[in-house]
Amino acid sequence: MNSLVLRISSVVMFLAMSVPILAADFGPAPRCDVRNQDSDGRVIDCRFQLNGDTKVSAAALSLDGELTPSQWQRFGGSGEGSAVLFLIDTSNPKHRVEAVKAAAGLVRSWADFASSKFLIGVAAFDSQLTSLVAPQSTKEAVIKATEDLKAKGMTTELYRGVLNALEKFDEVPSERKHLVVLSDGLAEDTAYTHDDVILAAQNAGIVVHGIGYPLNTSKSTGLQTLRRMAEETGGSYWQASANNELETGFNQRLLDTFKSGGTVSAALPEGTRDRVSVSMGVDLIDGRHIETVLDVPIPEASFSPWYLQRKYQIGGGVGVVLLLALLALVLRRKTTEEPVGEGVSYGYLQQVDAVGTRHAVVNRTCRIGRNSDCDVQLMNDSVSGYHADLLLDRDGGISIVDLGSTNGLRVNGDEVHQATVNDGDEIELGEVRLRFESAQ
């Protein structure tokens, strides 16, 4: 989509004020970050998730009340960058044998259905939490771990089980995390509360979803607990039938829920200082328009290498030690990276999007990723911290190698681990597309 189309869609979206404006449709609070764009300026990236399987048609930003040409990208089509942990209630063997079988079967079905790029894990709880498969496993491991799962616990410590799962899940390296609780919602623990769970989920940035398996009609009120957990963390809730069955096509609906949302970016106007008021508007395919306003702090502009971007309060002998250590680090970095020549670029990586950020490639080993110490920093959730290295050999040949990224590397549409790169080649790192331009 070119910048003109983006401008038109943005204007249409922000003028569509006759339809409802419902910030409540957003899941976890949207997050905005400011990143440097070489010497050409800075870009603000805002990431958002939506409740349920809501589908988006367009998104844009308004900065300090001014409509700004924006570019938005959906979360990966198969859920890249997401991790999901299924938490199965295995309590009450007298009444929940069939419900646990159904829940385990659902998890196996989902593991078989979901993309291999999804991080899937399974845990069970009754009086304590049992981790069955970490959310970095193959679908075969998930299927095997749930084959013999049975209802066995005599008590249901729901709140404690969810809290422990959130704590474990918080350690998983993933940008978007979904905890799916499969239970009858009946909590027998008294030391922990619903509010404890909501606070922990919000602090960890984890969305909680609920799948309710009613024990019986008289105790179905326990399902309200799961519904509230989901609603108050930006998640979704589904309820199985009395026969423990879910709607046809449920796997697809769950996938749509996990990938609902994306990242919207815009160039930060020159001269913006301290803070900016960001109004993020999203058009949904059902005709609605939702909007939220964020107050975003602006870091001091700096286009120096990462090791010069931090300011140190240096005094006395401690200052001398720090200064010498910093100088050694700079010299070591320069020696390791073998620059072609001071200020000399042998090529450029241009982002294929509406903004078109152009990154000069100087070092023989040019590291690309999301971390701040990368030579080319790409602030997109689908890009790994250290995603790939662009390499210049002594004969002038250029190649690129995947550093074990989560979402892979493609050159001209072909998935590769290592490949030669020529002038005009298109490189994909997760959802980000770059075009290599040779300077020779």
Query: Is the pLDDT assigned to residue 267 strictly greater than 90?
Result: no
Residues ≥6 apart with Cβ < 8 Å to 111: 120, 139, 142, 143
Going from the C-alpha of 91 to that of each of 189, 202, 238, 347, the distances in angstroms are: 13, 27, 20, 61
pLDDT in tens, 325-365: 566 555 554 444 444 444 467 889 998 887 788 888 888 88
In angstroms, how far is CA 352 from the centroid of its own chain? 21
Q: What is the pLDDT of residue 34?
A: 80
- Rounded Cα gap, residues 80 and 95, in angstroms: 38
Residue 31 binned pLDDT confidence (cut-offs 50, 70, 90): confident
210 membership: H or E segment, kind and range = strand 206-212
Both structure tokens of 150: 């049975």
Q: What is the pLDDT of residue 384?
A: 85
Q: What is the pLDDT of residue 184?
A: 92
Residues 210-219 have a mean pLDDT of 80
Q: 414-416 and 409-411: which strand pairing?
A: antiparallel
Q: What percent of the chain has pLDDT over 70?
A: 78
Residues 389-408 have a mean pLDDT of 84
Residues 45-60 have a mean pLDDT of 76
Query: Is the pLDDT assigned to residue 9 strictly greater than 50?
Result: no
Q: What is the pTM assigned to this prediction? A: 0.57
Both structure tokens of 284: 């949904």
In angstroms, how far is CA 151 from the centroid of its own chain? 33
Q: What is the pLDDT of residue 36?
A: 73
Residues 383-409 have a mean pLDDT of 85
Higher pLDDT, 179 or 270: 179
Residues 405-424 have a mean pLDDT of 89
- Rounded Cα gap, residues 232 and 25, in angstroms: 11
Residue 158 has φ and ψ, to the nearest 5°, of -60, -55
Q: What is the pLDDT of residue 135?
A: 83
Q: What is the pLDDT of residue 319?
A: 55
Q: What is the pLDDT of residue 115?
A: 60
Task: Name which of 84-88, 100-104, 173-177 the model is least confident about.
Answer: 173-177
Q: What is the mean pLDDT of the chain?
A: 78
- Rounded Cα gap, residues 417 and 403, in angstroms: 8
Q: What is the pLDDT of residue 55?
A: 75
What is the Cβ-side half-sphere exposure of residue 425, based on CA atoms within 13 angstroms?
19
Q: What is the pLDDT of residue 439?
A: 77
